[in-house]
Amino acid sequence: MATTQRGYYDILGIPRGASADDIKKAFRRRAREIHPDLHTGTKKTEMEKKFKELNEAHEVLSDPDKRKKYDQYGSNWEQAEAYEQARQQAGAQAGRGGRPGGPSGDFGDIFETFFGGRTRGGGASGFAVDGEDLETDVHLGIRDVLTGVTRRIDLTERVACKACGGSAIVRGRPCVVCGGSGVQAEKRTIEVRIPAGVQHDTRVRLAGKGQPGINGGKPGDLYLRVHIQANGIFRQKGFDIQVTLPVWPWEAALGADVMAPTLTEPVKVKIPPGSKADSKLRLKGKGLPTTTGEQGDLFLKLKIVMPSSISDEERTLYEQLGRARHSDPRAEIIAASRRGSS
């Protein structure tokens, strides 16, 4: 028994191919807009009717079996189903009646279905609605990951219009503040603590920081999608950090004590004699904290660099180096290139 000529998909404002998740989200969003508690007077009566339609649409579309039948038969799906059954069971009566608890059940049943029994007494105005989950992006620097950080976050949510109290009417005329909808957008700034050790492109859940509930409904959760900005010095590899550390050729050859950056204060490190280009030194525990309380490492990747200009004295020393006997460092790739071309 459809109470409306509008299709269920139109009522929820979704396309016919919408996913189960889309249906759930659309239902929650719409339920908040037209919840009878947000309205008073004639608007409330109208919203109670709309709310009933919405629940009916949701009940059918959120049930895969009912949805399939609705898609097949349209708003007369219950009759069509009954007719099918009657045809199959020879002799059974083809009549149909209001099925208790079905979409044609009374208002109270529908509320029970919607709110899963967490309803309060006192008629339509006494029902609790949970707040929606909210999601927003946060951009962090790598040092924020080390320490955790407190951020102020601006949220926009739909609340009952303050000018008309949600009735949509002021002195017999449509409310100009909310344009007659009874709801308005409200900005809310909250302060949140983002824990140390968050990873790039993950979501942090802040329980109860989403949209507030109505009438004792529990608040939704706030999800922060974390983006960690690239840093020119510190590259994040999971909980480890990698830093390219420039060294002079003689430091690599002879070994040296040099200063290296860390996420906190620079530290002194020992370059071992005979260090090769691209070799790595590990600074244990100087990486990022994990959410389980461990600590990643910092790796220094050695990059052998040349001075941009050399003095006469240095030239003399290089000439001495050049006269020393060394194997040809290119011998291997030249041999390999010949094998590859033959």
The distance between the two most distant Cα atoms of the chain, rounded to a whole number of Å, is: 113
- Would you say 169 or 281 has its CB closer to Zn ion? 169
Asked if 47 is part of the footprint of Zn ion (rule: CB under 5 A), the reply reads: no
d(CA 216, CA 120): 9
Q: Which two tokens stand for residue 224?
A: 């922060």
- Would you say 161 or 288 has its CB closer to Zn ion? 161
Asked if 194 is part of the footprint of Zn ion (rule: CB under 5 A), the reply reads: no
- Would you say 129 or 164 has its CB closer to Zn ion? 164
Residue 185: CB minimum distance to Zn ion, A: 12
Residue 39: CB minimum distance to Zn ion, A: 10
308-341 residues labelled b (16+ CB within 10 A) or e (exposed):
eeeeeeeeeeeeeeeeeeeeeeeeeeeeeeeeee
The terminus-to-terminus CA distance of the chain in angstroms comes to: 83
d(CA 315, CA 334): 29
What is the size of the binding site for Zn ion (CB under 5 A)?
6
Choice from 11, 34, 178, 245 touching Zn ion (CB under 5 A): 178
- DSSP, residue by residue, 233-271: S-EEETTEEEEEEEE-HHHHHH-EEEEE--SSS-EEEEE
d(CA 236, CA 298): 9
Residue 38: CB minimum distance to Zn ion, A: 10
Asked if 60 is part of the footprint of Zn ion (rule: CB under 5 A), the reply reads: no
Asked if 54 is part of the footprint of Zn ion (rule: CB under 5 A), the reply reads: no
Asked if 161 is part of the footprint of Zn ion (rule: CB under 5 A), the reply reads: yes
Asked if 163 is part of the footprint of Zn ion (rule: CB under 5 A), the reply reads: yes
Residue 58: CB minimum distance to Zn ion, A: 26
> Helix 20-34 vs helix 41-61: angle between axes, to the nearest 10 degrees?
170
- Would you say 92 or 163 has its CB closer to Zn ion? 163
- Would you say 163 or 336 has its CB closer to Zn ion? 163
Choice from 20, 94, 177, 254 touching Zn ion (CB under 5 A): 177
- Would you say 165 or 261 has its CB closer to Zn ion? 165
152-185 residues labelled b (16+ CB within 10 A) or e (exposed):
ebeeebbbbbeebbbbbbbeeeebeebeebbbbe
Residue 169: CB minimum distance to Zn ion, A: 8
Asked if 190 is part of the footprint of Zn ion (rule: CB under 5 A), the reply reads: no
Choice from 47, 175, 271, 288 touching Zn ion (CB under 5 A): 175
Asked if 321 is part of the footprint of Zn ion (rule: CB under 5 A), the reply reads: no
146 contact partners, CB below 8 Å, separation of at least 6: 196, 263, 264, 288, 289
Q: Are 288 and 145 in contact (CB under 8 A)?
A: yes
Asked if 164 is part of the footprint of Zn ion (rule: CB under 5 A), the reply reads: yes
Q: Which residues bind Zn ion (CB under 5 A)?
A: 161, 163-164, 175, 177-178
